[in-house]
Each structure stands twice: as C-alpha cells, then as structure tokens.
Amino acid sequence: MTNQEVQADLAKVASEYNHSQLQQAILENYKDSILLLRAKYASYEKIAELLNERDIKVSVATVRKFCRKYQDEADRLRAEMEADAAAEHQAPAPSPAPTKEDRPPLTSDPGKRGPRTARDTL
C-alpha cells in the first residue's frame, strides 16, 4: 500500500467512525457491584477481567472511566465498610469501676489500719 492509499483509507475510517456510549451503558447495569469492588480496592484490570469472564466484553480503559465517573460513591461505600469493620473490632465498653460500697474492706477489722508497706532505708 502506498502512502496516499493509507491516508485515504484512514480518512475513510475516520469519517465513518462513530463513538458509542454503549460500553458505558452496559456497565450501568452492574454499577453497584463494580463500585463495591472498587471500594474493596479491586484494580480496574481485575474488574475488567471479572466482567470479561462473565461475557461482558469491556476494556480496562472503559472500566477506569466508569469508576472515575462514580468515584464519590465508591469512596462513600469504602468509608461505610471501614466504619462497620471498626465497629465490629472495637473492644466492648469497660465495666464501670466498683464504688466504695461495692468493694470488700481491705482489712478484716473495719476501723483498723491496713498492713504497713515496706520502707527502703537510704
């Protein structure tokens, strides 16, 4: 093919090309699942791979563009999941300290002083 033929062929292809929003529209059906995967730190490549395994033919670039469009929602989901995880792993509230009335006496005789502590001589 000569240079002029290649230019003519490319010009023909360019004039006939119509960009389709079809891929973005296809991903809208799976929006919740895709955003949940992103919230769980799945890469664009992994999401595209999972979709392609399920016969949803989509490129990594399309997944990236779709996820960036809904980045705020994915961030909100991630924050909710992390808050839920933190609440599950939070230690139970400590029981309140016993009051004087709840504690047993330090000595057997209520009016008697307790044992002497050891004293160091310096």
Question: pLDDT, tens digit, for every residue of 34-79?
Answer: 999 999 999 999 999 999 999 988 999 999 999 999 999 999 999 9
- Residue 2's pLDDT is what? 86
Number of C-alpha atoms within 13 angstroms, CB side, residue 32? Answer: 0
Instruction: Read off the pTM.
Output: 0.56
Tell me: pLDDT of 122 over 60. Answer: no
State what percent of residues in the chain have pLDDT above 90. 39
CA distances for 108 relative to 89, 101, 102, 112, 114, angstroms: 43, 15, 16, 8, 9
| Arithmetic mean of pLDDT, 69-95 | 84
Kindly list the domain boundaries of the chain, sorted by start residue: 21-87
- Residue 61's pLDDT is what? 93
